[in-house]
Amino acid sequence: MNRAKRTAIFERLRELDPSPDTELHYDSPFELLIAVILSAQATDVSVNLATDKLYAVANTPAALLDLGVEGLTPYIRHIGLYNNKAKNIIETCRILLGEHGGDVPRDREALERLPGVGRKTANVVLNTAFGEPTIAVDTHIFRVANRTGLAPGKTVLEVEKKLTRLTPEEFRKDAHHWLILHGRYVCKARKPLCGECPIIEWCEYRRKEIT
């Protein structure tokens, strides 16, 4: 796919959604961090159900640390892998208080040292909380990047690096949100809604289907 097609795709996505954002509920970088940790192998809807109640009680590292694993678990019990996530969240709060003054670090290496935080989670926090032009590649974005031809690759890291390099700079900050929403609601895994796709004219998948 050439630059003109990539530009056309992102221009169309921007036209439809000029100010995209995550569907996770949050009011601070810390709330976002915890929500993203919880979202691994879980839906945003299930995470929001948990955090809407949790944050009314504890929405700072100190308050969550006071809850402890036993106090946190009832709020997140319906989320997959909740036992490990509870332990990681409490330890993350301990590290934030002990090493970062209770603040979420604006640094990839520091973020990835937090329990339960990998490269994708760090990218989400850097992008959504701090406005960095990072692109967090999840299953939706991996699928869209390969299917459309935007940035084909065999691994998540390969797709991330290609998207970061090939996405025109003016779109890079919002690309993550546009692509994840497109994959979630239009370019679905089993039955992509090609008839409703706003970028169909530039999509390599549709071109291959026709030929």
Residue 126 CA: distances (Å) to CA of 38, 71, 104, 165: 17, 28, 10, 17
Q: Is 66 a catalytic residue?
A: no
From the list 5, 138, 162, 174, the catalytic residue is 138
| Spatial distance between the Cα atoms of 118 and 120, rounded to a whole number of angstroms | 6
Q: Is 5 a catalytic residue?
A: no
Angle CA 41–171–153, to nearest 5: 50
Largest CA distance in the chain: 61
d(CA 85, CA 76): 9
Residue of 120, 154, 162, 188 marked catalytic: 120
Catalytic residues: 120, 138
